[in-house]
């Protein structure tokens, strides 16, 4: 029997590699397994590959999505508006973008170091301005 802790670490590393390619976050489902969760589906690790579940609202949407993922995903189960697909490897960048859009996963915002420094400076000035006006404590209490 495979060590559960080692198996979970391996699955997390595999899922993180896909999440990095898709520029999105991983989370855990109710069983503690790593998952990329979207509004219209999710992706789980399935041994050495991935299981992609797509659940859409209409037959037309699902048929169109199925045609789009067919080049890099193999259909395993099909319903009228949902299906389970098998994906053997991390898809190309363009395919990752397509998959992210189909299953409705939010993209991680990426900033250059210069933009990030500018945003941090702007937030620092805003906090300082609030502190000078004595509003920072009242805002913290109203939000918490």
> For position 133, what pLDDT does the model report?
81
Does some domain include residue 108? Answer: no
Does some domain include residue 137? Answer: yes
Please compute the mean of the pLDDT values over residues 22-48 and round it to a whole number. 91
Please compute the mean of the pLDDT values over residues 12-39 and round it to a whole number. 92
In the three-class reduction of DSSP (H, G, I as helix; E, B as strand; rest coil), residue 40 is classed as coil
List b or e across 105-114, with b for residues whose CB sees 16 or more CB atoms inside 10 angstroms.
beeeeeeeee
Average pLDDT in the chain: 88
Tokens 């992706």 found at: 43
> For position 4, what pLDDT does the model report?
76
CB 93: neighbour CB atoms within 10 A? 11
User: What does the alpha-carbon distance between residue 69 and residue 62 come to, in Å, rounded to a whole number?
Assistant: 11
**For residue 139, pLDDT beyond 60:** no
Closest to 22 in 3D by CA, of 3, 50, 60: 50
pTM of the model: 0.74
The answer on 129 and 97 residing in a single domain is: no
More confident residue, 42 or 113: 42
Residue 70: give the domain boundaries.
Answer: 4-103
What is the percent of the chain where pLDDT is above 90?
60
**For residue 3, pLDDT beyond 80:** no
Of 6-15, 34-43, 44-53, 85-94, least confident by mean pLDDT is: 6-15
The answer on 88 and 132 residing in a single domain is: no
- Whichever domain contains 57, its CATH number is 3.90.1150
> For position 116, what pLDDT does the model report?
84
The count of structural domains within the chain is: 2
What are the tokens at 130? 């609030």
> For position 136, what pLDDT does the model report?
61
> For position 58, what pLDDT does the model report?
96
Output phi, psi for 45, to 5 deg. Answer: -80, 135
> For position 144, what pLDDT does the model report?
47
């Amino acid at each position: 029997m495979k060590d559960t802790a080692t198996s979970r670490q391996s699955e997390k590393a595999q899922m993180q590699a896909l999440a990095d390619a898709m520029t999105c976050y991983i989370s855990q489902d109710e069983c503690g397994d790593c998952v990329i969760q979207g509004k219209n589906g999710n992706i789980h690790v399935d041994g050495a590959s991935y299981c992609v579940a797509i659940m859409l609202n209409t037959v037309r949407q699902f048929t169109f999505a199925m045609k789009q993922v067919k080049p890099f995903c193999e259909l395993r189960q099909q319903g009228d508006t949902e299906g389970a697909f098998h994906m053997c490897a991390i898809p190309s960048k363009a395919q990752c973008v397509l998959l992210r859009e189909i299953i409705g996963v939010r993209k991680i915002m990426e900033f250059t170091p210069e933009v990030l420094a500018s945003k941090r400076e702007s937030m620092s000035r805003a906090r300082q301005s609030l502190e000078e006006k004595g509003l920072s404590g009242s805002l913290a209490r109203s939000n918490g």
